[in-house]
Amino acid sequence: MQAQVKMRPKPQDTAVTKRSVSAHSVDDRKRKRADWDGVEPKDDKELPWDMRGPPGPQEGGPEMWRSQKYRANTGRWANAGGRHREKYQLWRQKSNQGLTGNELAWFHPMTKDGHWDLHCKKLDIMNPREEKNI
């Protein structure tokens, strides 16, 4: 089969060329956020994603921002991946129990007609796959 990968791999992080996330230190992020005035700028998307948001709680910022906790060790706010935490916990739990292949795939949050797709249909809410495609 000559299947093509749909997504290019992320560039490798080397000493010469740093990936954008590892190129910023905690101090860089603090300096960038120092002028934050409590209002999100409309051009916030121009900032690298790891520098967005207010200063951390230690620097006088809020405890929570967009329902995410501040990670003091990296100087970043948590990403939005936490909203499906329970779904991925179940998938990892099933993996640790020894399920593999289609049996394991059925519990993955993004599987069409899988466990979470059926569960969300019962509750009449959007499943994680539909939320991702919005």
pLDDT of residue 75: 80
What pLDDT is stored for residue 42 in this prediction? 47
Q: Give the residue extent of every domain in the chain.
A: 45-78, 84-132
- Is residue 102 over pLDDT 50? yes
- Give the distance, in angstroms, between the CA of residue 87 and the centroid of all CA atoms in the same chain: 14
Distance CA 81, CA 64 (A): 15
Cβ–Cβ under 8 Å, residues 121 and 129 = no
What's the confidence (pLDDT) of residue 55? 79
Question: How far apart are alpha carbons 49 and 51 in whole angstroms?
Answer: 5
Q: How many residues does the chain have?
A: 134
Band of the pLDDT at 17, cuts 50, 70, 90? low
If we measure between CA atoms, which residue out of 106, 37, 49 comes closest to residue 76? 49
Sequence-ordered strand ranges (E) for the chain? 64-65, 68-71, 76-77
- Angle 4-110-6 from CA coordinates, rounded to 5°: 15
